[in-house]
Amino acid sequence: MTASRKLLICGGVILAAFGMLYGVEYALVTEHQTLEHMGGSLAQSFTAAAGHDAARSKAALHEYGETKYDYVREVDAHSHWIGLAMLMIVLGVIFDRVHFGEGIRQGIAVVLLMGSVLFPLAVLLQTYHHGALVLKALAVVGPGLVIAGLTATAWGLARRESAA
Amino acid sequence: MPATVTTLPGKTDSATLSAMSARRLYIFAGIGLITCGLLFGDIFAVFILHQNAGRQGEALIAACRAVAAGDAAAVNQAFSHLGDLLEDRGTKVDAHVHMIGAGYLALMLGLIQPYVAFSRKAKKSLAVLFVAGAILLPVGIFLIHYVGLADSPFAVIGWASVLADSSGGLLIVVLVVTAWGFIQYLGSGQITEPELPEEDSMPRRALLTGGTILVLLGFLHGAYYAGTQLYEHERQETAILQRMIDAASTGNLDAATAEVNSFGGLAGARAVNIAAHSHVIEFGLLAMLLSFVQPFVFLSEEWKRRWVKVLLGGSVILPVFVLLELKLGLLAGGIADIGGLMVVVSLVGMLVGIVRYTGSLDTAEGAR
């Protein structure tokens, strides 16, 4: 088995296990509390408005927005890590059909794996620093790497064997 | 049967997909789980999704009325009902997603079996554990809404959650052990069973190329949505809610209802973009995975091509018409459901082909 295939399959299996581990930990420790907090904040916002307390209503709605911002990213990180891991494993199995030299294939594999780790990580880190430009940029770079890697893979698959 | 059927299994083939082997179990379970997950998703979309969204709007309007009347207890009652509706919807979406996800993993584990350096018996045991976890995980998630916290010793986690989390844990254990087996293979370099047969057929090429293109399109759409609409949608959500509360506080229920409708429209816009993005990638992956099992689909070349076309057609129709739901409404939703059914039908068609292959394989083995 070539090094590029090893990298993709091994990296994919580890990333899938990590993504699942994060998902179980999140479901057990954080998710229920987050959902309670999110629903509670929104209900509190309306309850405060019913009691004519506009300031408390606004603060509770802000709290709801912040919690939902975190929740969406936490769930997205989990699903994207596992989804990208599965893509890495599948690509690992077919990577010998990508008609480039092994050096280029290794480069593509590294790019794909880096993007797959970086993208959900940057999304997750946004929950600690809301709106941080660097993290937003990394969340763009991550999928950019995966798209570049996938484009190169599709190109390699479409090339004739003799062109490698 | 025309002369162009997949070749009858020989001795090498029987080792590639032998009876009661881990690979056979993973492939059957994988296709079965994906088919059930897609079917469940279609039923959910037709009978529950839109009705649930309508009831969420009604609950929000009830909350606005309670705010206008200054009745805090009625607000809490409306939100309790809303939470119930969201849990109902969320657990069904999660059951659908996790069943399909586990199916993909099963197919992938089937592919990498030659590179897992364990005995046949150990690999079979791992496969049985994986399939048990893969079935119990979506069942547990589905039951969360109905079981709730009944007889649970925990404050916020019910028995159905415990079942779902334990099943997820089981899948992790199988994955970690499989990774260990793969690492051992890397050390020895010896494959433990024959690799999948090489086949340069039209169905295989079409699935591989079509799948890669679908995944790429899904990534491009996801990146476009995240770059142009995601943050704006998040900002709009709290802005609409604020306007809704302000209107209800001043007793302007018409304006509050209009904001509830805007909120529903925004939720719909987010949902269709995310659904289109995830489905096109999932179908791309599915096409790529199914390209590997084509040598085991014991059907005529013509039927194999037919199922591939139906699968790729459904894989394009579903996400495109999910996106068009915002403009065309329920008509597009209906066409999207037909796209999903096309994928299900093609999967069943391929599964029938694999069952025929393994049947002939087992018969040939018995004759020897």
Domain presence at residue A159 = yes
Cβ within 8 Å, pair A68-B237: yes
pLDDT in tens, A61-73: 999 999 999 999 9
Domain presence at residue A54 = no
Residue A111's region, left for phi above 0, alpha for psi from -120 to 50, else beta, is alpha
The token duo for A59 is: 């603060």
pLDDT in tens, B332-364: 988 998 999 999 999 999 999 988 888 777 776
Closest chain A CA to residue B217:
A147
Domain presence at residue A13 = yes
Closest chain B CA to residue A44:
B76
Touching check for A130 and chain B: CB below 8 Å? no
Residues 237-266 of B with CB under 8 A from A: 237-238, 241-242, 245, 248-249
CA neighbor of B84 nearest in space, from B62, B116, B109, B111: B62
The token duo for B291 is: 């390209």
The domain tally of chain A equals 1
Domain presence at residue A59 = no
Poorest-pLDDT segment among A111-115, B138-142, B212-216: B212-216
pLDDT at A162: 56
Domain presence at residue A35 = no
Tokens 């399959």 sit on residue: A9
Output the CA–CA distances (angstroms, integers) from residue A59 to A142, B239, B328, in the order listed. Answer: 34, 13, 38
Domain presence at residue A100 = yes
Task: Give, in degrees to the nearest 5, the angle at Cα A92 between A88 and A95.
Answer: 125
Range of the domain at A87: 3-28+76-163
Domain presence at residue A23 = yes
Handedness of CA A46, A41, B83, B275 (dihedral sign): positive
Say which residues have a Cβ less than 8 Å from residue B334's Cβ, sequence separation at least 6.
none
In chain B, which ranges are E strands? none
- What is the average pLDDT across B259-270? 92
The token duo for B209 is: 């190329």
- The percent of residues in chain A predicted with pLDDT above 90, rounded, is 54
Handedness of CA B128, B296, B175, B139 (dihedral sign): negative
Q: How far is A21 from chain B, CA to nearest CA, in Å?
A: 7
Cβ within 8 Å, pair A65-B238: yes
Q: How many CA atoms lie within 13 A of A61 on its CB side?
A: 24
ipTM of the prediction greater than 0.95, yes or no: no
Q: In terms of pLDDT, which residue wins out, B197 or A53? A: A53
φ, ψ of residue B321 to 5 degrees: the values are -80, -20
Tokens 């409708």 sit on residue: B261
CA neighbor of A1 nearest in space, from A86, A81, A105, A76: A105
Residues 152-191 of B with CB under 8 A from A: 156-157, 161, 164-165, 168-169, 171-172, 175-176, 178-179, 182-183, 186, 189
pLDDT at B13: 54
* pLDDT band (50, 70, 90) for residue B139: very high
Domain presence at residue A131 = yes
Poorest-pLDDT segment among B193-202, B224-233, B304-313: B193-202
What angle, 0 to 180 degrees and rounded to 10, lies between the N-to-C axes of helices B120-147 and B72-111?
A: 170
Sequence ranges of the domains in chain B: 10-197, 199-368
Say which residues have a Cβ less than 8 Å from residue B62's Cβ, sequence separation at least 6.
B74, B77, B78, B81
Q: In terms of pLDDT, which residue wins out, A95 or B199? A: A95
The token duo for B8 is: 């009858």
- The percent of residues in chain B predicted with pLDDT above 90, rounded, is 58
